[in-house]
Structure 1
């Protein structure tokens, strides 16, 4: 992959990794996601598309990196590379970034969306049960934030592991075991505070109004074994006007890792439709 960079709205330069040729595909990894996590996807999709994967602001900005700022970064990337109607693919926090983009800018500058395994609202209460784990109150969220500050690596490793669903003996299981220690080392090298503050910000947002404002064709990809659950997938599909839902039966929160062949097929068919 070729490394480029772009200057965002506030002057900060952010790296972007580019591979392939053809129509543009912008990939926004999830919370704590690395561009290298997406290399197996990009390596295959780059045959037909020019893939752009950024390194998110919390890697470089010690200040408050709220989800609103990440959405402004996405707009700056699209403009900096003069991307024409790109397909924007957001996983987890990346999907929240897309909904925040819709809140600020509508779908201006975006041709299509692919949103991967995310609820528009993480916190649950008496009126909303479709958030994280199906039961994740403000008190639960604060306890998680406190645990991050007490043991960032241990807490995040446990959270990431809870999101993965791999079949014993499968290729995904072997890759997960291979990269677990690499992931731990990468997390240990991070400054935790920007990531924690980012979580504090997006975990309290409610994007249900933005789900209904999406006015471009949208592919929704969910894992049947995700900690969000199929009711979330059905809700987002029902309320996103021009959407196609694809559920990966054996995948958790990361269908692009738990079921790479199926994920690639879904994206290819949608992108060429």
Structure 2
């Protein structure tokens, strides 16, 4: 891991691999740069790959006390790209990473970017009487307030229930069965400092990027899970139609992390989208 200082003097940690056109990978809420490990070798054959631990994530205590709001994380992304003088970059955001990228586009535009990829996300998480394309299709401000209260009482279990109580029946069964994987996830979440992550969640659920989508002027690729825990096919279609010229792939039978469940397809789709080629390890290109 390398590190750089953001403009508020917070040290941010980044893993850098490969050579070529820059590619920046933005993970989801409560996750780390390690989530992208399955893709590093193939992406690194044609790109210089940057995988950060977003502010407040990855087990790095905050030195400045500046909460990891989505606005601050978008500025951190600009700081990262300025620090390494990245131009013509491909930026891929999953979940929170997609929201961070939309905020970045709002605040800094596309001057450093060549392509953008958004994985299984809605531009507005909370629902209301005029918007049903957020979490579950019915996660309104009252429901979110109750969720935040639960996070403050038992962070790990509340995060697990957010996934389990969603639209994916297999996710619900896994939670009830409480197997080894679920227990490991619980222990990982219990090891995190909840305060900055709760502040981050409040920021994410306050954001609304619906007006940003129509102003995206670089090629955009959308990847959605057919059985996402959080979003219906209506959300995917709405985002596709809102971004000029966007391409979209829906991965059958998988949840909120379609890229992890169908990694070979994801590599093939992304590298084809940006005009690169898979290496010999890609089964879909063999």
What is the deviation of 1:133?
0.4
What is the deviation of 1:38?
1.2
Contact 1:250 1:258 in 2 (8 A): no
The count of aligned residue pairs is 264
Q: Determine the C-alpha separation between the residues in 2 that align with 1:83 and 1:76.
A: 10
- Is it true that 1:36 corresponds to 2:39 in the alignment? no
Contact 2:136 2:166 in 1 (8 A): no
- Is it true that 1:197 corresponds to 2:199 in the alignment? yes
Q: RMSD of the alignment, in Å?
A: 2.1
Residue 171 (structure 1) aligns with: none
TM-score by length of 2: 0.86
Residue 112 (structure 1) aligns with: 115
What is the deviation of 1:252?
1.1
Q: Determine the C-alpha separation between the residues in 2 that align with 1:272 and 1:164.
A: 34
SS at match of 1:202: helix
Residue 58 (structure 1) aligns with: 56
CA-to-partner distance for each residue in 1:10-44, whole Å, 9 max, x for gaps?
11110101112221110000111111111012233
CA-to-partner distance for each residue in 1:103-137, whole Å, 9 max, x for gaps?
11122211110011100001111110100001111
Q: Determine the C-alpha separation between the residues in 1 that align with 2:187 and 2:12.
A: 22
Query: Which of 87, 90, 104 is matched with 1:84 structurally?
Result: 87
Contact 1:27 1:52 in 2 (8 A): yes
TM-score by length of 1: 0.90
Alignment gaps of 5+ in structure 2: 172-178, 277-286
Aligned 1:64-143 pairs, distance under 5 A? 64-143=67-146
CA-to-partner distance for each residue in 1:159-216, whole Å, 9 max, x for gaps?
3456796989xxxxxxxx7654443332211110100011011102111011111111
Alignment gaps of 5+ in structure 1: 169-176
What is the deviation of 1:64?
2.1
The 1:38–1:135 alpha-carbon spacing in structure 2 relative to 1, beyond 3 Å, is: same
CA-to-partner distance for each residue in 1:72-98, whole Å, 9 max, x for gaps?
000011111111211000001110001
Query: Which of 145, 148, 151 is matched with 1:145 structurally?
Result: 148
Query: Which of 11, 28, 53 is matched with 1:13 structurally?
Result: 11
What is the deviation of 1:236?
0.8
